[in-house]
Amino acid sequence: MNLTAPVLAGDRLALSRLLTQVENETAQGYAALEELFAHTGKAHIIGVTGAPGTGKSSLVNQLARYYRQSTDGRSPCRVAVIAVDPSSPFTGGAILGDRIRMKDLTGDPGVFVRSMASRGLLGGLARTTASMAQIFDAAGYEVILIETVGAGQAEVEIARLAHTTLVVEAPGMGDDIQAIKAGILEIADILVINKADQPGVENSERALRSMLDLSHPVPHVFKQPASGKTIQADELRPHPGLPEPLPFWATPIQRTIATQDTGTAELAAAIHAHLTYLKQSGEWVYRDRARLQAMLDSLLQEALIARWRETITESHYSDILNSLLARRITPFEALSSMLVDVNARTT
């Protein structure tokens, strides 16, 4: 059954089924992603990451509620939430907890909450999350909130998918340097100190601010691996008539108390300011391009490796591995002999 038409028409059951197909990497799921691709590129993808228990789900709940209200003359947005649970052994109960934390949102037809456990995912967390975000985007959800725990490689990859990344801290969560050690500050567009009702807020803010002062904004440069040419951000500016891009985005620190809905509007304002920055500076287009390039490169890599593996027998491959193991040849010698094999076959 083709699910793309009902998904585009706003059918929630079809959407739910399609998300499952994509999660299971079925052929129908892939086909639907292809069909929906032209409808993507509109949603504002917001990543919410941080250490366990800092209040990410509570915050996502408040933000979603905020976007559902029509304040400041804006009409309510349709909001999708993807809650990713990458470290199941430690946060086994997280998904159940999220259901409770986000119960305010159930029953609202303009909100769709989807939890995803990484266990058993075939294609990797980042890719599945990206595909799900694409579906929500095509289905007309203007805001997509993605919650991830921790600071691992998966979170950094998911942050790359987001237009705006919130890193959530809480006062007194042991060492504030924890997050910084993991390099998570580098991915933050907005730093949130949640649980601002608890002691130690000033200390956390001071520590974070001094870390921010130490970091320097980096100019945006994209590499084109194929040609080896580097594209300067300037060459990609979408409209020559746009105002000069702001030199950089200065990461703000926002305090919130998610359990009391304090600071939500201010946080939403900071998110909106970041969106405006992305659009006006042309960075929106750069990030879209970088994201699509990463997707294309990984597809290319997989396809080329698969094609190459077809040209070489398992026994030949293991002979070469054995020669490597015995130090009879070097890795580069192995590589060139294998590539010679391919060339001999294709010419």
Ligand X SMILES: Nc1nc2c(ncn2[C@@H]2O[C@H](COP(=O)(O)OP(=O)(O)OP(=O)(O)O)[C@@H](O)[C@H]2O)c(=O)[nH]1
- Please give the residue ranges that form the binding site for Mg ion (CB under 5 A): 56-57
57 or 256: whose CB is closer to Mg ion?
Answer: 57
CB of 94 to Mg ion, least distance (A): 5
16 or 259: whose CB is closer to ligand X?
Answer: 259
Considering only residues 142 through 161, tell me which ones interact with ligand X, judged by CB under 6 A: 149
Which residue among 41, 76, 97, 200 contacts ligand X (CB under 6 A)? 97
From the list Mg ion, ligand X, none, which binds 129 (C-beta under 5 to 8 Å, kind-based)?
A: none
CB of 107 to ligand X, least distance (A): 20
Which residue among 24, 115, 259, 280 contacts ligand X (CB under 6 A)? 259
Instruction: Tokens for 90, please give them.
Output: 């430690």
Q: 102 with 81: CB under 8 angstroms?
A: yes
Beta strand 221-223 with 230-232 is antiparallel
Residue 152's Cβ-side half-sphere holds a number of Cα atoms within 13 Å equal to 11
Beta strand 111-117 with 143-149 is unpaired
CB of 102 to Mg ion, least distance (A): 9
DSSP designation for 114: E
4 or 61: whose CB is closer to Mg ion?
Answer: 61
User: Measuring CA to CA, how many Å separate 103 from each of 14, 51, 268, 339?
Assistant: 22, 22, 20, 56
Considering only residues 176 through 205, tell me which ones interact with ligand X, judged by CB under 6 A: 194-195, 197-198
Instruction: Tokens for 279, please give them.
Output: 């659009």
53 or 76: whose CB is closer to ligand X?
Answer: 53
Query: Does the protein bind ligand X through residue 54 (CB under 6 A)?
Result: yes
Instruction: Tokens for 307, please give them.
Output: 């094609």
Q: 79 with 111: CB under 8 angstroms?
A: yes
Q: How far apart are the first and last CA of the chain?
A: 44
Please report which helix (H) or strand (E) contains residue 272, including its range: helix 264-281
Query: Does the protein bind ligand X through residue 56 (CB under 6 A)?
Result: yes
99 or 272: whose CB is closer to ligand X?
Answer: 99
Instruction: Tokens for 251, please give them.
Output: 């990461």
57 or 128: whose CB is closer to Mg ion?
Answer: 57
CB of 198 to ligand X, least distance (A): 6
CB atoms near residue 145 (< 10 Å): 27
CB of 296 to ligand X, least distance (A): 32
List residues binding ligand X (CB under 6 A): 52-58, 91, 94, 97, 101, 149, 194-195, 197-198, 257-259
